[in-house]
Amino acid sequence: MNGCRGTAPFRERMRKGILGVFDTFAWVRAMWEGGSAATGFLDDYSDLDLVMVVEDDRVEEAFRLFESFLEAEYGITRRFRMPEPCWHGHGQCFYFIEDCPPLYYIDLLVEKLSSNERLLEPDRHGKALVWLDRDGIVTGEGSDPLELSRRRSGFLGMLGATLPLTLVETRKQIARGNAIDAVAQYQRFLSGKLAGLLNLKYRPERFDFGIRYADRDYPDGVNTRLERLLYPSSPDALPALLDEAEEWCRELLEGAAREE
């Protein structure tokens, strides 16, 4: 973790500016930072993952007010509003602004007060950095263990069922000599199937997070092996690497099945 000493003044000015606008409106019920600020990995390259809870009929007003603030204080160079309905059920927009640290952007999630899906479980999303909470929304409660277990079981079943298909498709591209397709299919196999099984073993609360942030949760030896598999020296190296990755997957599947 690099820390954010270089960007800390900018981040604090941004926080105070946003709070200065939204704290004056009673229909804004809560605000917090998630992402790297919540997981303890904030550094100079981190974006701002900001969540805002508002009364149900104020979602669009919240976006308009936020954009007015950014335009006045920084200038918006680009924005992308996620098409709705989003997978998480909330409104979400990404903003790139002027006069900010390199690689910085803002990921704003606006949630309705009536929503029951907050993405706040500390075991999955870290400890939210609360800016404002009028109703005690940020409780710090963890995931429902029974529900998480049910979802993991379904995830494992899907991995086991689709593993043969993914392997056949990868080997097919290798056999055809289609280097681009073969490498792309191989990488999808590693980041999907293998990473999913490694998640079930080493970070079961975040089993569905894919390969992102694996280096934080996997043992060093696992990361070293995974990195070697992820970077084939040439397309000719793919058959042997795929055989190794398949054997690893089967070992992980057997271990996961025993623990079910």
Domain borders along the chain are: 8-133, 145-259
pLDDT at residue 1, rounded to an integer: 43
Beta-carbon count within 10 A of 199 CB = 23
Q: Say if strands 106-112 and 48-54 run parallel, antiparallel, or are unpaired.
A: parallel
| Class at the top of the CATH hierarchy for domain 8-133 | alpha beta
pLDDT at residue 116, rounded to an integer: 84
pLDDT at residue 87, rounded to an integer: 80
pLDDT digits (tens, 9 = 90+) for 100-140: 999 999 999 999 999 988 889 999 999 999 999 999 999 88
pLDDT at residue 4, rounded to an integer: 63
pLDDT at residue 3, rounded to an integer: 65
pLDDT at residue 5, rounded to an integer: 66
Which residue numbers in the chain have pLDDT < 70?
A: 1-5
Residue with tokens 């199937």: 193
